[in-house]
Amino acid sequence: MELALFDYELPPDRIAQYPAERRDASRLLVLDRASGRWEDRVFSELPEVLRPGDCLVVNDSRVIPARLLGRLAGGASVELLFLREVGDRRWEVLARPAKRCGVGAVILLGEGQARVVEAGGAGRRVVEVDGIGSARDFLHRHGLPPLPPYIRRYRKPGAEDWERYQTVYARHDGSLAAPTAGLHFTPALLAGLRARGVEIHALTLHAGPGSFRPIRATRVEEHTMPAEEVVVPEEVAAAVNRAKGEARRVVAVGTTVVRALEGASDAEGRVRPVSSHTDLFIYPGYTFKVVDALITNFHLPRYTHLLLVSAFAGRELVLAAYRHAVEAGYRFYSYGDAMLIL
């Protein structure tokens, strides 16, 4: 399957640079797969659209301030995105510009430093940190929110980004990108959903660096999905299985939740509790066993998120809905508006 089949035209001014004034004031495009029709709504109206008994599953991963700005001994600026700890005081990072960060390079980070000890492809480096104590604590003191690069101020996030590039129910540190479908929820909206009779459950999937990278292969099947840490608690698996057994809808908030639930399911579609990693790559042709409805943002072409959405609703219908969203002035990508696919 050619990746170019999933391209679409998007005027640059449709890319949201700031979040909506209120989280739940974002627009909501409700797309019905059975009829092929859509409806323009507002996200705060979600309780009116969902049914009593729906099982809503969110991702409670918390975005870590993983981006650090440093400089080489000669004064050149360097940016490091801390990915994961790989040993005693050693971290895998993405370095930019990578060509300045060969093995042996020393990057000054405030009162500490990071020395490059291994070099890999696509800007990946292994650094050994020194003089900063716990790297995790240092990130929380000096790191920046890892905004995606299409947000023009991503190198200098604003004060609002510390709050708004995080869901209100984020609990467990680990993501390098926000589960953006969840950014529209407020405590009041969650309370309204519960009053409506909607169950709300949380799992954890820590979004990794793959969220920042487009698919490089020309054919979809040639792409390899990076593994990401996932935890589906026993009580969440039981709640989802109970909903399926009672013919109630399982509504996933975001593509990360879809991948977590589908990846944790067996051949019969029963979800198992897991604490491991998933590299499940969902693209058209995949048969969904668990998820019945999906809340998601509008995604970049040539990214895995759009392929998953196209697998769920059909490529032609999704691209037609995207064309409507462009014409109707919807805001796209991380800080943009949302879709509910039924």
Q: Of 142, 173, 198, which closes a domain?
A: 142
pLDDT range class, residue 215, cuts 50, 70, 90: very high
Average the pLDDT over 244-253 and give the result.
98
- List, for residues 1-38, the tens digit of each pLDDT value: 999 999 999 999 999 999 999 999 999 999 999 999 99
188 and 324 in a single domain? The answer is yes
193 and 315 in a single domain? The answer is yes
Domain assignment present for 154 = no
- List, for residues 284-331, the tens digit of each pLDDT value: 999 999 999 999 999 999 999 999 999 999 999 999 999 999 999 999
pLDDT reading at 210 higher than 80: no
DSSP letter assigned to residue 111 = T
Q: Give me the CATH number covering residue 125.
A: 2.40.10.240
CB-based contacts of 1, cutoff 8 Å, min separation 6: 219, 220, 221, 283, 284, 285
Of all residues in the chain, the percent with pLDDT exceeding 70 is 100
**Region of residue 116 (left: phi > 0; alpha: psi -120 to 50; beta: else):** beta
Q: Which of 209, 186, 308 is nearest to 252 (CA)?
A: 308
Domain assignment present for 180 = yes
120 and 167 in a single domain? The answer is no
- List, for residues 317-327, the tens digit of each pLDDT value: 999 999 999 99
- Report how many domains make up the chain: 2
56 and 73 in a single domain? The answer is no
CB-based contacts of 287, cutoff 8 Å, min separation 6: none
What is the number of residues in the chain? Answer: 342
Distances from the Cα of 11 to the Cα of 8, 15, 173, 215, angstroms: 10, 8, 34, 21
In this prediction the pTM is 0.94
- List, for residues 76-96, the tens digit of each pLDDT value: 999 999 998 898 889 999 999
59 and 72 in a single domain? The answer is no
Domain assignment present for 167 = yes
Average the pLDDT over 226-255 and give the result.
97
Query: Which domain covers residue 138, as residue numbers?
Result: 67-142
236 and 119 in a single domain? The answer is no
Q: Of 90, 114, 142, which closes a domain?
A: 142
302 and 236 in a single domain? The answer is yes
Between strands 293-297 and 338-341, the pairing is antiparallel
pLDDT of residue 140: 87
Q: Which of 229, 243, 228, 230 is nearest to 273 (CA)?
A: 230
Domain assignment present for 117 = yes
Domain assignment present for 47 = yes
**How far is Cα 60 from Cα 68, in angstroms, rounded to an integer?**
24
Contact present, 279 and 229 (Cβ < 8 Å): no
pLDDT of residue 217: 93
pLDDT reading at 100 higher than 90: yes
